[in-house]
Structure 1
Amino acid sequence: MDWTCLLSPRRHPERENAPGDPRSEFLRDYDRIVFSTAFRRLGRKTQVHPLTINDHVHTRLTHSIETGSVGRSLGLHAFELLRDELPPHTPPAMLGEIVQAACLAHDIGNPPFGHAGEEAVRAFFAEAPDHLVENLSPAQRLDLATFEGNAQGFRIVTRLEMSLNAGGMRLTLPTLGALLKYPWTSEHPVARQKGKFSCYLSERATLDEIAQRLGLPPGTEGGFARHPLAFLVEAADDICYSILDLEDARELGLLSFAEIMAALGPLADSLGGPARDASLHQRRRLSYIRSQAIGRAVEDAARAFADHHRAILAGAFEKSLLDVCSEATRQGIAGAKELARGRIYTNTRKIELEIGSFSAIGGLLQVLCTAVWEKLARGRVSGRGQRLLRVLGEHAPPDDATLYEGYMRVLDYVSGMTDQYATLMAKQIGGLAENLSVR
């Protein structure tokens, strides 16, 4: 891969850049994402804890903003370490602006209720009645039964948001490349094994075009090699959620302050000073620890990126940057993740609400997909189905759509819902709501 091609500020689809705009093309990407309705809705989507009333706990929106901030720092550090390897006259802020924009959009396709929402969609299509899926190809069934927030996000930014079916947000190629954490479809071996992919069949031609224009080489098992900056986006996300999930857990009383101190100790240069000042509120003490831990992880991840950049450019690097950082950073991140798996993600209230999300999302998909099936497969729509198609609004499929396209439109509608809206819609459609309005 070649940095000149990888960083060229061309857009998808190809179009002339705006003359006289003092912003860089990548700052324009950032602004488009910030002002999108899909990004705005992240404010009421679960990061880890569904439907919490504690305003200090992260949502997908605050997580995305903070990940963007960390991503920008990673990009700035990477530039300083690699400036002699980059094209002449590369602006010092360029890498940071690209990574920040991609980080901002990295969760834009996540459904309501977090990862439980993804699992609920997958479960519905994996167990759907035969008549709903018998007209789908095996590849189309696989797409739906392995629903992925990353792939939905790619669909949003390249098709749905802003310029509908005409390039979406029309972001720059470098930002799109950095966003592609898994640049392959659901048929790729990694997708089959781990359910991880960044592109549905419906956007495969778009992926192929973007990869060709960026110069991303084909992968050994299909798909493409990652854009180098995608490694920085991944690192920013990992740093933020592994550290900040602990902070949220303390806010909710799931972890003690001492447990967090012990977990993040390897990442902090020093846990003296404000961290041990008992006269300070624990939020202030935690913010000091968090700042030190994130700063250390950012420096180490940027150094790892610089150390391995030749293998990354060759498409031969297949690890996470955090896996090749210093021992202290590896231990700190691993310890934080282990603590979260054992004490946070298994919390009873969280699990109870996630179980409820299966009913809410499954119920919505059942009635909406049935209405779409009646229109596109059976050719006769019931009275209830007609009403449900009107509920879909602009997401309702046209008469000439395929069944796969119809179901994708249902997923666009349901996955775009906030936690609260999905809960209310499920109640209303199920006849359980009392004097409530969804508007």
Structure 2
Amino acid sequence: MALDTGELGFGFRERAPWACDPALTRGRLYPEPVSPTRSEYQRDRDRIIHSTAFRRLKHKTQVFVAHEGDHYRTRLTHTIEVAQIARALARALRADEDLAEGVALVHDFGHTPFGHTGEDVLDELLKEQGGFDHNAQSLRIVTALERRYAEFDGLNLTWESLEGLVKHNGPLVGSDGNGLSGPVPKPVLDYNALNDLQLASHASIEAQAAAISDDIAYNTHDIDDGLRSGLLTLEMLEDVPFLGELLMSTRDRYPGLEESRVSHEIMRRQITLMVEDAIAMAQQTLKELRPNSPDDIRRAGRTVVRFSDEMQQTDRDIKSFLYANMYRHPDVMRVRRGAAAIVKDLFNAYIDNPGLMGGHWVEGLEMLGADALARRVGDYLAGMTDTYAVEQHRALFDHTPQLR
């Protein structure tokens, strides 16, 4: 897909008509005075960065648990990388960079300790209460669970930021109101009843930029972490033609280059090519749609910021490669089994003795039914970092699995 460099929004350029305008926001659930120094989306971004949930990302697993090495990605470093790519895409498409960055920064708030392992365990343990979904949990955090402000719970983000958080991967329901990928998580439906996020439409172009940036970041950086860990080798990258070509061109240009630098050169080229492909496809789609408002993007009936068919196949190939060679590697699976046992043990311990949670988590326990108690325990566990979960397990049990 050819990139039209004449259409790129580098430097200062007027906001495009399809971009969200913070001056025209649909507002916050709890009205607040306008800031004299920051736009509404800048305020959202700043609240996200200053939240407790954002700080916790530092000690939450991306792929490798924290103590396996200082240089592996955590949820926090991954989130920052996603935000950087999202800003670049938004800038190129003359969209609102602050909104794109904010959605990128908040998109992983709901992840449990130990990555998808913790999510899978909580989903099973909370099956009777509607299961567990990290996107829905992110919404719960920013609308209810953060306890920072005097006048409201949560962060009281703008409608556009909440819409982007919930729908950055696409619409949740079809025209018939039924979920497109199974039942819509209850926390999303509950909040939507208070503040309609238009679950049947696509999200803004800024949220779409954040979503594809997530794919670009973890496809690239999980390979980097896999090479660093020794689970992957440079030669194994030849199994994916796109990566194999990058490896060959790097070695041809820099014969004898040390492997760590070869790895980095491959990663930076991968990011560049995927970003340029996404921009080119978005440019083409925008020319076809000729949108005159953000709502034209929402009503387009298709994703505007996406890969070309060729790059989409490359994206699938990379994901398949990572699942086969890293995410399902015996060493990773062994750690995942230990992590799953920790989450399950803690959940059962807190259900049996909820007073162990302490702090505000024990407020009004006598008023909670079984379902409400299970959800509160799930909220408490989901907010834990890897390190805190291990520490709590050691305090409550005689044996804690070794996660290394």
With over 3 angstroms needed to count, the CA separation of the structure-2 counterparts of 1:61 and 1:274, relative to structure 1, is farther
With over 3 angstroms needed to count, the CA separation of the structure-2 counterparts of 1:273 and 1:315, relative to structure 1, is closer
What CA distance in whole angstroms lies between the structure 2 residues aligned with 1:27 and 1:275?
A: 44
Q: Among residues 8, 22, 35, which one is paired with 2:50 in the alignment?
A: 35
TM-score by length of 1: 0.74
Greater relative contact order structure (CA < 8 Å, 6+ sep): 2
Whether the 8 Å CA contact 2:42–2:98 is kept in 1: the answer is yes
With over 3 angstroms needed to count, the CA separation of the structure-2 counterparts of 1:167 and 1:397, relative to structure 1, is closer
Whether the 8 Å CA contact 1:274–1:288 is kept in 2: the answer is no
Which letter does structure 1 place at the counterpart of 2:379?
Answer: D
Which letter does structure 1 place at the counterpart of 2:137?
Answer: Q
With over 3 angstroms needed to count, the CA separation of the structure-2 counterparts of 1:326 and 1:225, relative to structure 1, is closer
In structure 1, runs of 5+ residues without a counterpart are 80-93, 127-140, 371-384, 434-439
Whether the 8 Å CA contact 1:50–1:350 is kept in 2: the answer is no
With over 3 angstroms needed to count, the CA separation of the structure-2 counterparts of 1:369 and 1:275, relative to structure 1, is farther
- 1:158 and 2:124 correspond: no
Which residue of the partner structure matches residue 396 of structure 2?
429
Query: How far did 1:303 drift?
Result: 2.9
What CA distance in whole angstroms lies between the structure 1 residues aligned with 2:140 and 2:389?
A: 20
- Aligned pairs (5 A) from 1:122-161: 122-126=123-127, 141-143=128-130, 146-161=131-146
TM-score by length of 2: 0.80
- 1:412 and 2:379 correspond: yes
Q: Which moved more, 1:247-256 or 1:203-212?
A: 203-212
- 1:287 and 2:264 correspond: yes
Which letter does structure 1 place at the counterpart of 2:385?
Answer: T
- Aligned pairs (5 A) from 1:54-69: 54-69=69-84
With over 3 angstroms needed to count, the CA separation of the structure-2 counterparts of 1:307 and 1:269, relative to structure 1, is farther
Partner SS for 1:99: helix
Which letter does structure 2 place at the counterpart of 1:411?
Answer: G
With over 3 angstroms needed to count, the CA separation of the structure-2 counterparts of 1:188 and 1:167, relative to structure 1, is farther
Which residue of the partner structure matches residue 114 of structure 2?
113
With over 3 angstroms needed to count, the CA separation of the structure-2 counterparts of 1:6 and 1:368, relative to structure 1, is farther
Query: How far did 1:276 drift?
Result: 4.6
Deviations 1:163-183 (A, max 9, x none): 489241122222221111366
Q: Among residues 310, 315, 334, which one is paired with 1:333 in the alignment?
A: 315
Which letter does structure 2 place at the counterpart of 1:238?
Answer: D
Whether the 8 Å CA contact 1:268–1:296 is kept in 2: the answer is no
Which residue of the partner structure matches residue 20 of structure 1?
36
Whether the 8 Å CA contact 2:250–2:262 is kept in 1: the answer is no
- 1:97 and 2:98 correspond: yes
- 1:362 and 2:328 correspond: no
- 1:248 and 2:214 correspond: no
In structure 2, runs of 5+ residues without a counterpart are 1-16, 290-295
Whether the 8 Å CA contact 1:109–1:416 is kept in 2: the answer is yes
With over 3 angstroms needed to count, the CA separation of the structure-2 counterparts of 1:249 and 1:409, relative to structure 1, is same
Which residue of the partner structure matches residue 192 of structure 1?
182
Which residue of the partner structure matches residue 211 of structure 1?
196
Which letter does structure 1 place at the counterpart of 2:377?
Answer: V
Aligned length: 368
Which residue of the partner structure matches residue 360 of structure 2?
394
With over 3 angstroms needed to count, the CA separation of the structure-2 counterparts of 1:30 and 1:392, relative to structure 1, is same
